[in-house]
Chain A
Amino acid sequence: MAPSAARWNHVWVGTETGILKGVNLQRKQASNFTAAGQPRREEAVSALCWGAGGETQILVGCADRKVRHFNTEEGTFQGQRHCPGGEGSFRGLAQADGTLITCVDSGILRVWRDDDKEASSDPLLELRVGPGVCRMRQDPAQPHIVATGGKENALKVWDLQGSEEPVFRAKNVRNDWLDLRVPIWDQDIQFLPGSQKLITCTGYHQVRVYDPASPQRRPVLETTYGEYPLTAMTLTPGDNSVIVGNTHGQLAEIDFRQGRLLGCLKGLAGSVRGLQCHPSKPLLASCGLDRVLRIHRIRNPRGLEHKVYLKSRLNCLLLSGRDTWEDEPQEPQEINKVPSEDTETDELWASLEAAAKRKLPDQNQTQGALQTKQRKKKQQKSISP
């Protein structure tokens, strides 16, 4: 059941224990996938990205400097690639035209041929980005453009097909009111679709917008949020806003046109490590050190949709961008195809039907490993006088 159902998982989460978890929000199941069958801390997932061919392959960057290929259709790891060079864990992983782009902590950015072979061939391209990199992000519109930034490592935009010099190198803001140099700590970068602009969030709780098209290399807009380092950021679909998360688990939606705070999202208790918005639906997936994956609804109304307890600390996540989240209609076909698994699927159907009957008066979703905010709210309402 698990291998064929892996394709229907909505969210893929990488953990510190080396387990890749696939969460199906419709069926409310979380399943573990490991390369070696056992969790291993040396394989702690530090970066995740979609592989070639739509959303059928995931590239998992692990702490032992290997990039493993995971096939979502089969639900198995199908090969790995050792990417040596530099020190530290992967800070960015991207895939472009049959090549793999990796960037590590010490600032070595390498482009590898995507051979799927164990033998580590020499990289096609190597760039030294500068030490202390915190994030490398690929432009979704132009796969050969990447941006890097980190601690005392200003934002740089690189063209992998161009020269060895960055296309855009950001300049630090002016000295502050005490005439002291403002420190730099770019924690996350996002490319704005439809223009050349970039947005970064920093460890000094600033959100900055850069425009390479404008003559100034300094940020075009700067706002601050909170008092704690911002660790993750994602763009919201449609709106001119970003959602940032900090080390205290506070999520905020910030409008980057005006630079004001639109609203906050509650629920997280630990540092936010991964954030991603769905491209069309108003859903936000967040994961963090408190070992819980949360799906929030960003607007009308803003609130928590799903909460899944996954037992290890979560490092990064990938939200599937597909529009249809229901996968139930596929089930009957599977039953017909695999008669030997009839008893299992019959039991599954029986339990599903029983759950549906039980829940008809409530018109709520089925119970299971997940809790939904509505049910908790109802419980709370019933308990409190």
Chain B
Amino acid sequence: MAKASEKNGSSGKKSLKRKAATKEPQEAAVAEDGATERGAQPPKAAAFPPGFSISEIKNKQRRHLMFTRWKQQQRKEKLAAKKKLKKEREALGDKAPPKPIPKTIDNQRVYDETVVDPNDEEVAYDEATDEFASYFNRQTSPKILITTSDRPHGRTVRLCEQLSTVIPDSHVYYRRGLALKKIIPQCISRDFTDLIVINEDRKTPNGLILSHLPNGPTAHFKMSSVRLRKEIKRRGKDPTEHVPEIILNNFTTRLGHSIGRMFASLFPHDPQFIGRQVATFHNQRDYIFFRFHRYIFKSEKKVGIQELGPRFTLKLRSLQKGTFDSKYGEYEWVHKPREMDTSRRKFHL
């Protein structure tokens, strides 16, 4: 009993506890000379007998202490292992095996059979004759109409204005409660090629409808993380009138190709490199990040960039064949969360 109290008394100090731990089996053995079994040690007293886990200790303070001690030991072992590995690598020098690549969700992406092969003739023909063919054959140049949902608030209005500076040859019009199905024939008669509608909810823009005009597909996106120019830190001065370059990253699947082409057809064909402005649509894990930068090459390999314009994230909700007709239109792709989002490693764009 006295020895037990001794143990409890010294539980506050780790070093004492450690010595107590090493002493414990001896003390337990001594104490148990007169006690029940000789061979079986009491589980709590011994250091690490098999089949014992720290969670079985009922005393919270002691349990916590044992756990922190265990954790420190784990950390030490890990550090030692790393050092050892590093030494071995240095010792081997060139013959060292290559470093193992860490697994990321992008690495583990499920094989998608719709990924477009650059040599595929059928897909190439499909793309050469689809609704964007007239843009890519340089027969039409884009003319964009930007509008919002009815009665937009300040953020949305400012986003539209900033978008119109980013996209050349774009015009912002106030919606005035007009039906899109009535706006579209008028746009077509005035030679607009694309219609952008920014949807707003509770004073923030949250959706984007991009409709290619003569009879082209309509894409409906969810928009999030909208940052206007004044909210961007360390930004450059306002963008100039030069036609920006476009970067489309990571649109690999067939659906991704269609969306990528849709974005590309918003901008005029020939970028003016004097302006040094670039608009980027980067797709990662089905989220499309839009950024607008100005770059400058300090040397051949070093670039400085300044973020200029608005920044937002898009996620595709549906791609509809034909111009905007959400009720009776035919959909090429609809995002169905319960069917398509079951795997964390499967992406559609």
Contacts and interface: CB of A to CB of B under 8 A. Distances in A.
Bound together: yes
Interface of A: 17, 19, 32, 38-39, 41, 203, 227-229, 231, 247-249, 266-267, 269-271, 289-291, 309, 311-313, 369, 371, 379-380, 383
Contacts of B70: none
B328 A32 contact: no
Interface string B315-349: 00000010000011111111010011011010000
B122 interface: yes
A267 B331 contact: no
A41 B332 CA distance: 18
Given A249-B334, A290-B332, A267 B339 contact: yes
Interface residues of B, number: 25
A290 B254 CA distance: 10
A104 B330 CA distance: 20
Interface stretch (B123-131, B202-210, B280-288): B123-131
Contacts of B328: 203, 229, 247
A312 B336 contact: no
B114 A291 contact: yes
Contacts of A227: 327
A290 B333 contact: yes
B120 interface: yes
B122 A312 contact: yes
Nearest to A271: B330
Contact of A247 (B123, B329, B340): B329
B94 interface: no
Contact of A270 (B122, B123, B126, B334): B334
A41 B331 contact: no
B125 A291 contact: no
Contacts of A312: 122, 126
B113 interface: yes
Q: Which of A19, A291, A371 has the most CB of B within 10 A?
A: A291
B332 A39 contact: no
Contacts of A271: 321, 330-332
A150 to B, nearest CB: 14
Nearest to A269: B333
B113 A309 contact: yes
Nearest to A18: B125
A29 B32 CA distance: 76
B330 A380 contact: no
A311 to B, nearest CB: 5
Nearest to B129: A41
B327 A228 contact: yes
B129 A270 contact: no
A311 B120 contact: yes
B79 to A, nearest CB: 28
